[in-house]
């Protein structure tokens, strides 16, 4: 996966297209990413004990990784990600500015 937790991404699809957000979770098996504040689904939570009230909580639903684009922290543009190998280490690099993406 080219997107990692903590990355800032641009949303490319859906009703929140054009928004930016921070990746808070990666779901590698599903090629999904959860972006803070994006694609939130309201979920009703049943009371766990008698006397408690049920609640509605907003949980962000995963987006497919193809629907987001990384925003390069160096040049600030939505960019494609490449890889660079240096010895044993593999770096992600920005294809726009060639900057290393940590
Ligand atoms: Zn860049």
CATH of the domain at 62: 2.30.30.30
The rounded Å distance from CA 10 to ligand 1 centre is: 14
Claim to verify: residue 56 and residue 17 sit in the same structural domain: yes
- Considering its fold, how many domains does the chain have in total? 2
Question: In the prediction, which pLDDT does 24 show?
Answer: 96
Claim to verify: residue 28 and residue 78 sit in the same structural domain: no
Exposed / middle / buried, residue 90 (Cβ in 10 Å: 0-12, 13-18, 19+): exposed
50 vs 95, more confident: 95
pLDDT, tens digit, for every residue of 33-84? Answer: 999 999 988 888 888 888 888 889 888 899 999 999 999 999 999 999 999 9
Question: In the prediction, which pLDDT does 49 show?
Answer: 87
Q: What is the maximum alpha-carbon separation in the chain?
A: 61
Angle at 6 between CA 9 and CA 63, to 5 degrees: 50
Question: In the prediction, which pLDDT does 50 show?
Answer: 86
Domain that holds residue 53: 1-71
Question: In the prediction, which pLDDT does 58 show?
Answer: 83
Q: Is the pLDDT of residue 16 over 90?
A: yes
The rounded Å distance from CA 84 to ligand 1 centre is: 14
Question: In the prediction, which pLDDT does 48 show?
Answer: 85
The rounded Å distance from CA 28 to ligand 1 centre is: 24
The rounded Å distance from CA 62 to ligand 1 centre is: 25
Q: Can you tell me whether residue 66 is helix, strand or coil?
A: helix
Cα 72 to Cα 2: distance, rounded to the nearest angstrom: 12
Claim to verify: residue 42 and residue 89 sit in the same structural domain: no
Structural contact between residues 56 and 39, judged by C-beta atoms closer than 8 angstroms: no
The rounded Å distance from CA 50 to ligand 1 centre is: 54
The rounded Å distance from CA 100 to ligand 1 centre is: 8
Ranked by mean pLDDT, which of 7-11, 40-44, 50-54, 87-91 comes out on top? 7-11
Q: Which two tokens stand for residue 23?
A: 């990746």
pTM of the model: 0.82
Cα 70 to Cα 93: distance, rounded to the nearest angstrom: 11
Claim to verify: residue 67 and residue 81 sit in the same structural domain: no
Claim to verify: residue 12 and residue 59 sit in the same structural domain: yes
Claim to verify: residue 24 and residue 59 sit in the same structural domain: yes
């Amino acid at each position: 996966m080219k997107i990692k937790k903590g990355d800032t991404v641009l949303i490319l699809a859906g009703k929140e297209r054009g928004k930016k957000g921070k990746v808070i979770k990666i779901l590698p098996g599903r090629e999904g990413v959860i972006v803070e504040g994006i694609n939130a689904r309201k979920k009703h939570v049943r009371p766990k004990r008698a006397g408690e009230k049920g609640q509605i909580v907003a949980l962000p639903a995963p987006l497919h990784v193809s629907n987001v684009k990384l925003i390069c922290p160096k040049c600030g543009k939505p960019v494609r990600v490449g890889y660079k190998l240096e010895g044993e280490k593999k770096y992600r690099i920005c294809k726009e500015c060639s900057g290393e993406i940590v």
